[in-house]
Structure 1
Amino acid sequence: MNKILVSGYYGFGNAGDEAILMAIVESLKKLDNNISIKALSANPKETKRMHGIDAVHRTNPFLVIKAIAEADLVLSGGGGLLQDVTSSRSIPYYLLIVYLAKKMGKRVMFYANGVGPVNRKLNKRLIAAVGNTVDLITVRDDNSRDQLMSLGVKNPPIYVTADPAFALKPVDDETGFGILRWKGINFDEGSLKIGVSVRPWNLGKNRQVIAETCDYLIKNHDATIVFLPMQFPQDYSESLEIMGLMKGKARVIDEPLGPRELLWISGQMDLLCGMRLHALIFGAIMGVPLLGLAYDPKVENFLKRVEQPSAGSPLDLNVVDLCHLFEEAIGRRTESRSKLLAKKDELEGLAYENARLALKLLEGGYEAGSR
């Protein structure tokens, strides 16, 4: 039985990254059930429970080296691992895993990576040096490919695919409605349901802008506002801050849910406004019209790919403009939904392409050339 090791931002309670790992595992297993998958995780026990795979702690040197040594293929990704905006340690850590794997003679693949921004000169050199040693690269958007090439990564084939999460399926309706009943969330028939996903990002006074916009939607559209935290407790605390500034009543998912559950709840919305990339990806999977708050270029890149509007940086918001964008998004819901559903099969197929290429590499080859 071939063994695959997956390195990524797992075990931190981030629903987007857990969706990535869940989709990687399921995509690989769907194509070849005769493989063993292990992950590096900040919480191995929870990773084992959630994903049904083995896991070791990502900061235990002995266990990490042992896991690499036992693997036939090491996957780095997916997600935005190669960037130095949210952490200066991400790039050195993830590239060290790749470096060790190559030193041990392992096949290595960057799996559906998002790349950039990369600001530090050392990190740029590290990406070029280590990136050119890997066997195969898939990235989740054109910008990530361009970033790698501009940094000097030119040796391995680079394929533009899609985020692995596009292969994910939601829980069934019975389970989903059961969660809403358990959370005490009832949607009034005919009410406009708007999901809001925020994250800590020095929002400051812009929390008030979001709060006033939510109040506007409640007053003028009889909207039901539901905050959808993607990471606990960070996003939940941020949601509560904004809710505390509102005059109207909003709902919030008040404890962590799995990726499938959050995916289903996202699908119940009529419109989803999000900062988190995977909140927007969840909406796109379910055909829910989007309005993005682009705190990071990856959000803007994704919105362009699925032809959905952006409100720009969350640090540059004002109430009048944001309300106007919501009015436009509400008016274009039918058109936006059609665009998303038209792209769904393509993006799901590209998500599976990551797994297909990984297994081809595991078997010892791939089609040369980049695309």
Structure 2
Amino acid sequence: MKKILVSGYYGFGNAGDEAILMAMVDSFKKLDDNIRIKALSANPKETEMMHGIEAVHRTNPFLVVKAIAEADLVLSGGGGLLQDVTSSRSIPYYLLIVFLAKKMGKKVMFYANGVGPVNRNLNKRLIASVGNMVDLITVRDENSRDQLKNLGVKKPQIYVTADPAFALKPVDDETGLSILNRHRIDLSKAGLNIGISVRPWKVGETRKVIAEACDFLINSYSVNIVFIPMQFPQDYNESLEIMRLMKEKKVKVISESLGPRELLWVCGKMDLLCGMRLHALIFGAIMGVPLVGLAYDPKVENFLIRVGQPSAGTLKDLKVQSLCSLIQDAIKKREESSRALLAKRKEMEYLANENAMLALKLLEGGHEQYKKD
């Protein structure tokens, strides 16, 4: 039985990253049920329960080294691991795992990585040095490929695929409806259902702008607003802060931590999704829900361009009038947008699964078959 070790941002309660791991496990199991997967996690017990795989604590050096030693293939990813905006320690940590794995003679792959922004010179040098040691790289967008090349990663083949979460499937309707019932959310009410996904990111007057936009939509279109937290309780608390600033109080919020498949189902029941969180937007795209993105990070902008959906721009430039205008336009074009997203979904799901196909090829036949771009 072949063993794969996965290193990523797992066990922190972030639904986007858990969706990545869940979809990775699904993809591998579909291709080869004889694969044994282990993850490095901040909460191993939770990871084992949620994903049905083995896990060890990501900061226990003895367990980490043992897990690397036992693996036939080490995957770094998926997700935005190679960036130093949210933490200056992320890049050194993830690249140390990769470095150790290569020194121990393991096959290593950057798996569906999102790359950048990278601001610190030390981190730029680390990426160039360690990146050229790995056997294979897949990235989730063209910008990430360009970033790696600009940073000096030249040796391994770089494939542009898609975020692994595009391979995820939602829960059944019975499970999904029970979530709505618990939160007293009635989607059969008159008016459009608009999902809002926010995260803590104190730039300008973001909270005030989103609150005023929600008020405008309720008054102008009689919409039903549902706040959908992707990381609990951080996003839930941020949602409450925005709700406090709103004049209209008939707003719903998901007040519990939901799993990725549950959140995918909920996002799929919206008529429009306006959000900051990348994976809320990805969930909407999977389910054919028109999007309006709030680009707190370049990865959001890159994704929206790829799926042909509008962006309200960066948060520091966010204005109520322009956001409302964009949402109004998205409401008018929602049927056209939904068709376009559903047409795109098949391609993105294939590319998401291609990450696993390439990983298994590497595991089976070495990396000599891969040539440079």
Query: TM over 0.5: same fold?
Result: yes
Equivalent AA in structure 2 for residue 107 of structure 1: K
Q: Aligned with 2:258: secondary structure?
A: coil
Q: Map of 1:61-72 to 2, 5 A cutoff?
A: 61-72=61-72
1:232 matched to 2:232? The reply is yes
Q: Matches of 2:371 and 2:196 in 1, distance apart?
A: 41
Aligned to 1:29: 29
Aligned to 1:369: 371
Q: 2:199·2:238 contact (CA, 8 Å) conserved in 1?
A: yes
* Cα deviation, residue 316, structure 1: 1.7
Q: Matches of 1:326 and 1:284 in 2, distance apart?
A: 16
* Cα deviation, residue 63, structure 1: 0.4
Aligned to 1:358: 359
Aligned to 2:280: 279
Aligned to 1:79: 79
Q: Matches of 1:6 and 1:70 in 2, distance apart?
A: 12
Aligned to 2:189: 189
Aligned to 1:261: 262
1:290 matched to 2:282? The reply is no
Q: 1:159·1:370 contact (CA, 8 Å) conserved in 2?
A: no
The answer to which of 73-82 and 199-208 deviates more is 199-208
* Cα deviation, residue 205, structure 1: 2.5
Q: Matches of 1:257 and 1:58 in 2, distance apart?
A: 23
Q: Matches of 2:198 and 2:25 in 1, distance apart?
A: 27
Q: Aligned with 1:312: secondary structure?
A: strand
Aligned to 1:2: 2
Q: Matches of 2:215 and 2:371 in 1, distance apart?
A: 52
Equivalent AA in structure 2 for residue 368 of structure 1: Y
Equivalent AA in structure 1 for residue 257 of structure 2: P
Aligned to 2:223: 223
Q: Map of 1:284-323 to 2, 5 A cutoff?
A: 284-323=285-324
Equivalent AA in structure 1 for residue 252 of structure 2: R
Distance change (3 Å), C-alpha of 1:370 and 1:279: farther
Distance change (3 Å), C-alpha of 1:283 and 1:370: farther
Q: Matches of 1:370 and 1:237 in 2, distance apart?
A: 46
The sequence identity of aligned pairs, in percent, is 76
Q: Map of 1:124-139 to 2, 5 A cutoff?
A: 124-139=124-139
Q: Matches of 2:264 and 2:40 in 1, distance apart?
A: 24
Equivalent AA in structure 1 for residue 26 of structure 2: E
Equivalent AA in structure 1 for residue 128 of structure 2: A
Q: Aligned with 1:230: secondary structure?
A: coil
Q: Matches of 2:333 and 2:130 in 1, distance apart?
A: 45
Q: Aligned with 1:369: secondary structure?
A: coil
TM-score between the two structures when normalised by the length of structure 1: 0.98
Equivalent AA in structure 1 for residue 195 of structure 2: G
Equivalent AA in structure 2 for residue 269 of structure 1: M
The answer to which of 111-120 and 310-319 deviates more is 310-319
TM-score between the two structures when normalised by the length of structure 2: 0.98
Aligned to 1:345: 346
Equivalent AA in structure 2 for residue 281 of structure 1: I
Q: Matches of 1:49 and 1:151 in 2, distance apart?
A: 38
Q: Matches of 2:30 and 2:196 in 1, distance apart?
A: 33
* Cα deviation, residue 68, structure 1: 0.3
Q: Matches of 1:351 and 1:73 in 2, distance apart?
A: 19
Q: Aligned with 2:311: secondary structure?
A: coil
* Cα deviation, residue 204, structure 1: 5.1
Q: Matches of 1:100 and 1:160 in 2, distance apart?
A: 26
CA shift digits 1:16-50 (9 cap, x unpaired): 00000000111011100001100000000000000
Q: Matches of 1:157 and 1:80 in 2, distance apart?
A: 19
Q: CA RMSD in A?
A: 1.0
The answer to which of 89-98 and 246-255 deviates more is 246-255
* Cα deviation, residue 220, structure 1: 0.9
CA shift digits 1:53-91 (9 cap, x unpaired): 000000000000000000000000000000011110000
1:12 matched to 2:12? The reply is yes
* Cα deviation, residue 247, structure 1: 1.3
* Cα deviation, residue 200, structure 1: 0.6
Q: Aligned with 1:159: secondary structure?
A: strand
Unaligned runs of 5+ in 1: none
Q: 2:155·2:372 contact (CA, 8 Å) conserved in 1?
A: no
Unaligned runs of 5+ in 2: none
